């Protein structure tokens, strides 16, 4: 009996390890946003060679200023989807993002997954973050990006009925995995198409909403912008991309 129990335990442990590895590989190499793009803005339907660089999970005391420096050096504007708690913690960094002309969006207040959330809690997280961004930066925003991208169709409808634009992405740099900057640039340049939205992060780790190492992201920015220009692309904000898409649809 003991031997049989031991074999069952080992088998179960092996299955759990396999499932954990499979989940890790899935998270690293598959972009789950592909599954939930319906009824969201993830690219503009245009032929002009323009893209939008976006950064999630900030502001960060360490990484956002470095990213802003690189964006300034490259001469482009980006869009920062901010977490309310981080705006509250680093108001000066959030203000700098606005003062330097970048676009700002909402990325929830606490970065908790919204999937199957109570509607009241979801609405409060969004409106509280919007109010805080307005108070700190003087800028209002109706751009919203859900944590981890996941929302049900019902949740999307409720958010859109409140007047928000749900923004996802087309290309995921997976910089939270700390891929080499050259790999990220190579991957994006190989796959980029007109009107697409590119995802980076200016904070957050694998298990935490703050921290993480964004060194490779910082190093990649200038090189990516230069490569995009070589291929005839310009970098716009999400708001500008949205406007171009709307004009094209008329």
Active-site residue, selected from the candidate residues 56, 57, 103, 181: 56
Active-site residue, selected from the candidate residues 86, 107, 111, 201: 201
Indicate if 102 belongs to the active site: no
C-alpha 130/C-alpha 26 separation (Å) is: 32
C-alpha 152/C-alpha 242 separation (Å) is: 22
Please, where are the H alpha helices in the chain?
2-29, 63-74, 84-89, 91-99, 119-137, 153-161, 181-191, 215-230, 238-249
How far apart are the two ends of the chain, measured CA to CA in Å?
A: 73
Indicate if 201 belongs to the active site: yes
CB 214 within 8 A of CB 202: yes
C-alpha 29/C-alpha 33 separation (Å) is: 12
Tokens read off for 193: 């198409």
CA distances to 42, 65, 79, 86, 241 from 197, in Å? 6, 22, 10, 23, 9
Q: Catalytic residue positions?
A: 56, 201
């Amino acid at each position: 009996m003991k031997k049989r129990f031991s074999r069952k335990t080992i088998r179960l442990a092996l299955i759990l390890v396999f499932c954990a590895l499979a989940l890790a590989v899935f998270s690293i190499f598959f972009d789950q946003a592909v599954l939930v793009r319906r009824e969201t803005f993830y690219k503009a339907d245009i032929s002009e060679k323009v893209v939008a660089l976006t950064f999630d999970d900030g502001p960060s005391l360490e990484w956002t200023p470095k990213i802003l420096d690189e964006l300034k050096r490259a001469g482009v504007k980006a869009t920062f989807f901010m977490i309310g708690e981080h705006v509250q913690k680093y108001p000066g960094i959030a203000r700098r993002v606005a003062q330097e002309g970048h676009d700002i969006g909402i990325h929830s207040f606490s970065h908790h997954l919204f999937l199957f959330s109570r509607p009241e809690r979801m609405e409060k997280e969004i409106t509280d973050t919007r109010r805080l961004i307005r108070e700190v930066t003087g800028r209002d925003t109706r751009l919203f990006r859900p944590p981890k991208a996941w929302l049900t169709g019902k949740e999307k409808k409720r958010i859109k009925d409140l007047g928000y634009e749900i923004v996802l992405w087309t290309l995921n740099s997976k910089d939270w995995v700390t891929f080499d900057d050259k790999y990220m640039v190579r991957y994006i340049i190989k796959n980029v198409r007109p009107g697409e939205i590119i995802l980076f992060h200016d904070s957050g780790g694998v298990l935490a909403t703050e921290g993480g190492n964004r060194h490779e992201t910082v190093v990649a920015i200038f090189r990516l912008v230069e490569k995009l220009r070589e291929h005839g692309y310009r970098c716009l904000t999400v708001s500008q991309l949205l406007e171009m898409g709307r004009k094209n649809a008329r």
